[in-house]
Amino acid sequence: MLKIGFAQCIPDYTLSQALSICSRASSLGCDILLFPEMWNIGYEIGDENPQLWLDRAVSIDSPYVSAFQEEAEKLGLAIVVTLLEKTEKGARNTAVLIDRHGTLVQVYAKVHTCDFSSEACLIPGSGFETSILDTAQGPVKTGLMICFDREFPESARILMLQGAELIFVPNACPMEINRLSQLRARAFENMTAIATCNYPSGKDECNGKSSLFDGIAYDESGSRDMCAFLAPEGEGLFAAQLDLEALRAYRKSEVHGNCYRKPERYSLLTAPAVEAPFIRADRRK
């Protein structure tokens, strides 16, 4: 059983707070700790002054990231930490996967930036990749998406095609029934577990409800609820367990995933044209 921690907390923008959350997650026996989106600046929803964001960006080799690496090694805890990342070409909405040895395993920049908002000033990521995460429960094939990425089925599908068993989704938005249904659908159609961490109520428009969908839609008794965990709306550090062996057994026998796809029929999915009624003036070219 893999134990996943969800830091559904309002940031005070100090490393001491973040490292304290890591320590508490370790004391709960968590193998992995997931933070909400853009933790270092708290993702101010609706803030239309991009410069307020850009001035607070930090680089991957900054003390901010290295402090999490040191804490991960000290605690034996894998961490998905998020940040507004400073690069030579501009800023990115980034998630960093650090393993329990303090090694930086993957740096992922949000592909589907919300270009109808302040995120139009950010550089989108270049694609989706998976990594092998070493945990105390053994190696796990993981992938990363960030918030709006979840609304495009291609994001999770590409990660599934690369073998992802568990997808981490840092988040910062209201998790109402439709967005939760998106996560359920991504888990169902890809037979992939999806762990999402959101900010709690009291932080802009967010409402908590961090979740774990375990990707197992059916068992010997028939249809089952894939929602293995759903947090309340309030602030807190939560933990949930994922039965990896059950998921792996399910993936070997069920019909979803990759076996029965017909990709030769999907060429239109990569066509760049946007037609009415979906034309928007602020679409990034």
Cite the beta strand spans of 21-164 per DSSP E: 32-34, 78-87, 90-98, 104-109, 130-135, 138-144
Dihedral pair phi/psi, residue 121, rounded to 5°: -85, -5
pTM here is 0.95
Q: Decide if pLDDT at 48 tops 70.
A: no
How far is it, in rounded angstroms, from Cα 215 to Cα 159? 14
Q: Which domains does the chain have, with CATH numbers?
A: 2-270 (3.60.110.10)
The Cα angle at residue 203 between residues 125 and 42, in degrees rounded to 5:
40
For the chain, the maximum distance between any two Cα atoms, rounded to a whole number of angstroms, is: 55
Nearest by Cα to 254 from 220, 282, 278? 220
* pLDDT for the residue numbered 284: 85
Amino acid type, 253: S
How far is it, in rounded angstroms, from Cα 56 to Cα 91? 10
pLDDT tens-digit readout, 117-160: 888 889 999 999 999 999 999 999 999 999 999 999 999 999 99
* pLDDT for the residue numbered 46: 63
Q: Decide if pLDDT at 7 tops 80.
A: yes
* pLDDT for the residue numbered 241: 98
* Residue bearing the bigger pLDDT, 257 or 104: 104
Q: List active site positions.
A: 37, 110, 147
* pLDDT for the residue numbered 44: 81
pLDDT tens-digit readout, 201-246: 999 899 999 999 999 999 999 999 999 999 999 999 999 999 999 9
Strand-strand pairing, 222-223 and 193-197: unpaired
Q: Give the SS3 label for residue 278.
A: coil
Q: Decide if pLDDT at 58 tops 90.
A: yes
pLDDT tens-digit readout, 84-96: 999 999 999 999 9
Q: How confident is the model at residue 47 (pLDDT cuts 50, 70, 90)?
A: low
* pLDDT for the residue numbered 282: 87
15-19, 97-101, 156-160, 278-282: which has the minimum mean pLDDT? 278-282
CB atoms within 10 A of CB 207: 18
Nearest by Cα to 69 from 30, 109, 26, 103? 103
Mean pLDDT within 68-79? 98
Q: Decide if pLDDT at 67 tops 70.
A: yes
Q: Decide if pLDDT at 255 tops 70.
A: yes
Nearest by Cα to 107 from 74, 72, 146? 146
Q: Decide if pLDDT at 45 tops 90.
A: no
